[in-house]
Amino acid sequence: MHAAKRLIVLCAIWAAGLSAQSPRKPASQPDVFLVTIDTLRADHVHCYGYGPIQTPALDSLAKDGVRFAEAFTPSPITNASHTSILTGLLPSTHGVTDFGVRLASTFPVWAELLKKQGYHTGAFIGSVVLDSQNFAPGLDRGFDLYDNFPKVAQNKSRWGRLERRGRDVAQHAETWLSTHPAGPHFVWVHFYDPHDPYDPPPPYSQIYKDRLYDGEIAYADSALADFVTYLKKKGWYENSVVIIVGDHGEGLGEHHEETHGIFLYDSTTHVPLIIKFRGQWQAGRVVEGQVRTTDILPTVIDLLKIPPPGRLDGESLISYLDLVGTAETTLRAAFGETDYPMRFGWAPLRSVRREGFKFIEAPKPELYDLRSDPRELTNNYAPWDATVQKSRAMLSDLKSKMPVRSSSAESVSQSTIDELKALGYLGPADVGSTTNVPEPSLLPDPKDKIEEQNLLHKAMMASEDGRSSEARAALEKVLELDPKTPTALRQLGELELHAGDYAKAAEHLKHAREILPDDVTAAFYEGQALDAEGDLVGAREALEASLKLTPSRFPARLLLGQVYLSLKDPKAAEDQFEAALLLRPQNAEAQLWLARAQIASGKFVGAVQQLEPLSNSQPNNAEVFELLAQGYSGLGKKVEAERAESRAKTLRKNRQP
């Protein structure tokens, strides 16, 4: 063969090889699929060495990818930990340390970064706790579709209102992918199943009937299998990057913590992390060194060779994988942070996990030698210990680099707080303003309060489930432990209020407010209880106290107006209803109450002006016409009054069964 001809043939072979390797676009980016599994302890996954469970999907991804044996979340709370995964930042940096806190637009999110690179982006969540309409504002940035929950729940069942089963979440993601086949994709799928209450569907409820938490994990694994099978069927698996990570673990009684959120022990911070790279690079490798969930986004940025955002608290994991040894990885310090104890009036915690030691900063500080004491049972804290001093220096260095912000939860509605409680969390607006919060070191150590937290959690879940006597018993037990627990007093008050025992409710709530005068929710409930009991002066005082702290609380305004009307002070009532209408101008109930107050103070012109448009928008509301009749009578318009009266009568008659 002539040299020139040989060159042409070689070129043809080379070109053919090229086109076989690169499908449509020569520089196409891989699909990226992120699967977060809620409340997943690393040591309850089969490929992490837990024998009594079957997790074939996780195991097979570990076989195709890299399994990080020692991965840690900086936060044991869903919103904070997910925000850390999606930003590569610590909670103290991104500021989402509580439910309902908006992620500041200054921090770019994973989806935004990839969208800029031409990615098609979708997020599919399994719990209302990550809904961007209330609990996780800002987390939807950069997503073409963020699959929130319906604004109005279709039914009262937990499923669809608060949670979606993993298979449903996978279905939602698959449906979207099928209708948006053009890549590259970035899809985040969130399986909430292992979160309590543990209620796996059959056959997992049977196979794991004595270990329902494991049953939920096995079920979540089946949802993951469903999703991976779909990706394979579409031919997207091989060339994609698939990342599986837990958002936090579960206490399961270790350190007396039943669930998660309060402590920073490994039981709730050690999570599984598996990354399957494009073309199964490094398949089957296990990295033993300590890594953090904040390292995930930097890794993706590194892989895709895209410009990083201004700040990242984590670092890419690629450099570690290029190397053979693992000793170098022990230097990555894993920070832990939780402010959730503050919801109960207890001290927040900070921790540093580094070189085989864990230091926890608390009113009673802790130091564990993880090599000899992996369960963190023997506290070796001494103020002069070198590890303690180094850890404290690292924490204060971190604090000095924290962006200055006035982070506070957005005002969330009562229904939102109720949903949060149904999930077993105490909501942000439950404990009034935080201006009077003392120095953290002066607050009780959560270690001394964990039994109370378990009971409060139990009570919230029992209330949600309609088991009120169980909830009452749990709350009474909290008060036996500490009769001055405002959260228990408030919840007990709320429980009695709903049960109709107004005197008891008022008593508990009054007590709660004596301990925590800024508790707006307790004040509001006390107002309701006293009003129901007929103590109008007391109700007025409580509602005014509640509104002084949060003036924009619509139901409190409405109720206070009604109390004023009952107190024969229509002028003051009018003020309240007008204020309520400033908050919700279209609210028919407030409009009707305002008309009532106006009629009571003889302002018939105003009342009729208020009611006439309502009679058009609500032509079947008997009350509107009844009040209209009173208004016309007051104005001497006899004919109109009679017409309105007869309309009201007809409507009432039709309403009778």
CA dihedral of 196, 200, 201, 205, whole degrees rounded to 10: -140
Question: Least separation, in Å, of the C-beta of 93 and Zn ion?
Answer: 19
Question: Least separation, in Å, of the C-beta of 76 and Zn ion?
Answer: 8
Question: Least separation, in Å, of the C-beta of 144 and Zn ion?
Answer: 24
Number of shown-chain residues binding Zn ion (CB under 5 A): 3
Q: Which is nearer to Zn ion, 130 or 542 (CB)?
A: 130
| Residue 643, both tokens | 């017409």
Q: Which is nearer to Zn ion, 83 or 329 (CB)?
A: 83
Nearest to 268 by CA among 258, 257, 260: 260
Question: Least separation, in Å, of the C-beta of 35 and Zn ion?
Answer: 14
Q: Does 247 bind Zn ion (CB under 5 A)?
A: yes
Strands 185-191 and 120-124: parallel
Q: Is the dihedral of CA 180, 182, 188, 194 positive or negative?
A: positive
Q: Which is nearer to Zn ion, 91 or 561 (CB)?
A: 91
Q: Does 535 bind Zn ion (CB under 5 A)?
A: no
With CB under 5 A as the contact rule, which of the stretches 144-152, 239-247, 373-381, 606-614 interacts with Zn ion?
239-247
Q: Which is nearer to Zn ion, 38 or 313 (CB)?
A: 38
- What residues contact residue 426 under an 8 Å CB cut-off, 6+ apart? 343, 344, 420, 456, 460, 487
Q: At what angle do helices 486-499 and 450-464 cross, to 10 degrees?
A: 20
Q: Which is nearer to Zn ion, 191 or 554 (CB)?
A: 191
Question: Least separation, in Å, of the C-beta of 251 and Zn ion?
Answer: 13
Question: Least separation, in Å, of the C-beta of 223 and Zn ion?
Answer: 16
Q: Which is nearer to Zn ion, 87 or 329 (CB)?
A: 87
CA distance 338 to 447: 13
Rounded to whole angstroms, what are the CA distances from 461 to 37, 422, 496? 21, 6, 16
Phi, psi of 513 (to 5 degrees): -75, -25
Q: Which is nearer to Zn ion, 78 or 240 (CB)?
A: 78
Q: Which is nearer to Zn ion, 78 or 222 (CB)?
A: 78
Q: Which is nearer to Zn ion, 30 or 428 (CB)?
A: 428
x/- binding map, residues 263-302, to Zn ion, per CB under 5 A? ----------------------------------------
Q: Does 98 bind Zn ion (CB under 5 A)?
A: no
Question: Least separation, in Å, of the C-beta of 247 and Zn ion?
Answer: 4
Widest CA span of the chain, in angstroms? Answer: 114
- The residue behind tokens 């206490």 is 251
Question: Least separation, in Å, of the C-beta of 515 and Zn ion?
Answer: 30
x/- binding map, residues 185-224, to Zn ion, per CB under 5 A? ----------------------------------------
Rule CB under 5 A: choose which of 29, 30, 38, 648 binds Zn ion: 38
CA distance 449 to 284: 43
Question: Least separation, in Å, of the C-beta of 261 and Zn ion?
Answer: 9
With CB under 5 A as the contact rule, which of the stretches 71-79, 182-190, 604-612, 646-654 interacts with Zn ion?
71-79
With CB under 5 A as the contact rule, which of the stretches 76-84, 181-189, 380-388, 505-513 interacts with Zn ion?
76-84
**34: part of which helix (H) or strand (E)?**
strand 32-37
CB 562 within 8 A of CB 573: yes
Helix (H, G, I), strand (E, B) or coil at 602: coil
Strands 145-147 and 241-246: unpaired
Q: Could you tell me the end-to-end alpha-carbon distance of the chain, in angstroms, rounded to an integer?
A: 99
Q: What is the DSSP string of 195-213?
A: SSS--PPTTHHHHTTT-HH
| Residue 434, both tokens | 């935080």
**406: part of which helix (H) or strand (E)?**
none
DSSP 632: H
Rule CB under 5 A: choose which of 78, 134, 299, 576 binds Zn ion: 78
Q: Is the dihedral of CA 373, 378, 384, 389 positive or negative?
A: positive
Q: Which is nearer to Zn ion, 81 or 528 (CB)?
A: 81
With CB under 5 A as the contact rule, which of the stretches 75-83, 98-106, 178-186, 506-514 interacts with Zn ion?
75-83
Residue whose C-beta lies closest to Zn ion: 78
Question: Least separation, in Å, of the C-beta of 38 and Zn ion?
Answer: 4
Q: Which is nearer to Zn ion, 130 or 594 (CB)?
A: 130
Which residues form the interface with Zn ion (CB under 5 A)? 38, 78, 247
